Structure 1
Amino acid sequence: MASYTHEEFELSQKHEDILGERALLLLHLEAHYEQQKAKTKQQCLMSQAVKERNAQILKDLQNAEKNLQTKQLLHPDIINLETHYWASVERKLPEWKQYLPGKGQLPGEIVDHDLA
């Protein structure tokens, strides 16, 4: 009978150990659950912010598209004149580079050395 009590004592100890491990595992699971819950909440908030940002971008794009559709295009003659003007500027630029600010005297500019 003494050995029976010893076996009961060992089984009781094992039972206590198992209950302790179980309690520890439950604490870990609860902590993990709370972390997951917080992470999910944060992801929902971020998702909502992204949806709002995307909605604003879409609205801005639609407004830009609407503005482009309602914008009057320039007359072809004006576009032609503008193209010729800039081509002329590009052709004459090398001749005028020396007269840019700080580069020297403008063509036709008269400097009176006697007054200086």
Structure 2
Amino acid sequence: MTSYLYQEVELSKRHEEILDQRTALLQQMENLIEGQQKEKKNRTAVSEAAHDRNTALLKDLEAVEERLHARACILPHPNVVSIETQYWASVEEQIPQWEQFLGKAQSPQGRNQRAGKRFQKCTPQDKQKTKSSDLPPSRSSSKSVSRSPTPRAKLRG
């Protein structure tokens, strides 16, 4: 009988240990779940903050783009207009020599029309219709342009 009583006590102790382990594991699981939920909330908050920051940056970029585009439609500085006029005058002076050299008698079509278009206010339709033919030649397309000495060069030499 004492052996049964001894076994009963041992089983009771073992049962208490198992219940304690179960309680500890349940507590660990609850802590783990709470930690995961906090981490998820934190990631959500960080994600929302990043989204808000990206939205603000996108709006800023769009505003800058609009300002730059508006600036492109404004009349150029008088010095730029003067230089451009001098450039086209020199081009017109050189046309006969180039026609003789190339053997062609073609004149630049619509050059006078281009000058008028260049200094008009831009409209939204103009912004979309801009073609490379409406623009003067780029620097990269005229690799070897003979330049007359500038007044400064004359003073130096």
| Per-residue deviation, 1:53 | 0.4
RMSD of aligned residue pairs (Cα, Å):
2.7
CA distance in 1, matches of 2:11, 2:55: 64
Between 1:46-55 and 1:71-80, the stretch displaced more is 71-80
Q: Does 1:78 align with 2:80?
A: yes
What residue in structure 1 maps to residue 31 of structure 2?
31
Provide the C-alpha distance between the structure 1 equivalents of 2:82 and 2:45, rounded to a whole number of angstroms: 53
Q: Which has the higher contact order (CA 8 A, sep 6+)?
A: 2
Query: For each residue in 1:48-89, what CA deviation from the matched residue of structure 2 results, as whole angstroms up to 9, or x when unmatched?
Result: 1110000010111112122222223636961785xxxxxx9x
In structure 1, stretches of 5+ residues that fail to align are 82-87, 92-116
**TM-score, structure 2 as length reference:** 0.45
- Quote the Cα distance in structure 1 between the aligned partners of 2:5 and 2:81: 107
1:52 is matched with: 52
| Match in the other structure for 2:144 | none
Q: How does 1:11-26 map to 2 (within 5 A)?
A: 11-26=11-26
Whole-angstrom CA distance in 1 between matches of 2:54 and 2:81: 36
C-alpha distance in 1, partners of 2:12/2:30? 27
Task: List structure 1 runs of 4+ shifted beyond 4 angstroms.
Answer: none
| TM-score between both structures, scaled by the size of structure 1 | 0.58
Alignment CA distance shift 1:21-1:79 (3 Å):
farther
Count how many residue pairs are aligned between Structure 1 and Structure 2. 83
Structure 2 unpaired stretches of 5+: 84-149
How far, CA to CA, are the matches of 1:77 and 1:45 in structure 2?
A: 53
Quote the sequence identity (%).
36
Rounded Cα–Cα distance in structure 1 between residues aligned with 2:81 and 2:36: 62
Mapped to 1, the partners of 2:11 and 2:81 lie a distance apart of: 97
Distance across 2 between alignment mates of 1:79 and 1:15: 97
For 2:40 and 2:12, the matched residues in 1 are separated by 41
**Is residue 64 of structure 2 the alignment partner of residue 64 of structure 1?**
yes
My pick for the range that moved more, 48-57 or 27-36, is 27-36
Flag the 1:80–1:3 CA change in 2: closer, same or farther, 3 A.
Answer: farther
